[in-house]
Amino acid sequence: MTVRVAVTGAAGRMGKTLIEAVALAEGCELGAAIERPDSSLVGADAGELVGIGKNGIAIVGDIADVTDHFDVLIDFTAPVATLNNARVCGGAGKGMVIGTTGFDATQKQVLADAIGSIAVCQASNFSTGVNLCFKLLDMAARVLGDDVDIEVYEAHHRHKVDAPSGTALSMGQVVADALGRDLDEVAVYGREGQTGARDRQTIGFATVRAGDIVGDHTVMFCAEGERVEITHKASSRMSFARGAVRAAVWLASQHPGKYDMQDVLGLK
């Protein structure tokens, strides 16, 4: 079975990489490419746009026009756009791979309602390496327990609009869950001025936005006399795109429900 994959945000940095990743992957093909209705690239050939040669898939401005052309949509856009796409996919019975981050509490509930009847794989990061790090972080937190200070550092390119990154928050959540802490209560987002001595129960987050950094994440477990650091550095968006395409092919054969990359990789 060949899975027909649609990519939205097709003209963006991640969208172009996803189209290329679909072309390189086995077991799938590009079924549709979607952009904003007002984009000047609507009507352009998606393959020619990303430099892999014409593939006969014209970019469209409305996902509702191409629901018959794909089995799974990959969406790495923005919360408002993803919510609209979720409503369309939910109504059409199409699966979704969601890499969009930055949803607020209300948007998370709207999304959950929209995708309740379809198969969805949602993750803050689709890199195989990052998902391995999640597993290692759980192990480290359980072994080191309450004897360390825990800090999460992340750096991304200057165009990223949400902070901390979804991946950093997921890393913090993995650690908090392993230690039985409520991340909403113990997270500290940046420090300034006379902050006083550090509370060991807190989990700190530090954010950098600069240049063209694809994505760096480090979690530090710091004790007296030693520290353990678990780090992942991405040098290309292709690592995320390959994972997302892998998830789309896997998702096409799953029953309706909510999944994540840990399910795709069999790490649970």
Domain ranges of the chain: 3-122+237-265, 128-234
pLDDT of res. 145: 86
pLDDT of res. 257: 96
Token pair of 265 as six digits: 């990789």
Is 258 annotated in the active site?
Answer: no
Candidate list 160, 217, 233, 268, residue with the active-site label: 160
- Cα dihedral sign, 204-125-14-258: negative
**Residues 193-205: tens digit of each pLDDT:** 999 999 999 999 9
pLDDT of res. 193: 94
Same fold, 3-122+237-265 and 128-234: no
- Within 10 angstroms of residue 263's Cβ, the number of other Cβ atoms is 17
pLDDT of res. 37: 95
Strands of the chain (E only): list them: 3-8, 28-34, 59-60, 72-75, 95-98, 119-122, 149-156, 187-189, 203-209, 215-223, 226-234, 257-259
Model confidence, pTM: 0.83
pLDDT of res. 268: 76
Distance CA 158, CA 156 (A): 7
Q: Could you say which residues of the chain have pLDDT below 50?
A: none
* Assigned CATH topology for domain 128-234: Dihydrodipicolinate Reductase; domain 2 (3.30.360)
Candidate list 94, 156, 217, 232, residue with the active-site label: 156
Distance CA 68, CA 119 (A): 17
pLDDT of res. 7: 98
Q: Phi then psi for 23, rounded to 5 degrees?
A: -65, -30
Token pair of 241 as six digits: 């795109």
Which CATH entry fits the domain spanning 3-122+237-265: 2.60.40.10, 3.40.50.720, 3.30.10.20, 3.30.465.10? 3.40.50.720
Is 232 annotated in the active site?
Answer: no
Which single residue is written with the structure tokens 């999640």?
134
Distance CA 131, CA 153 (A): 17
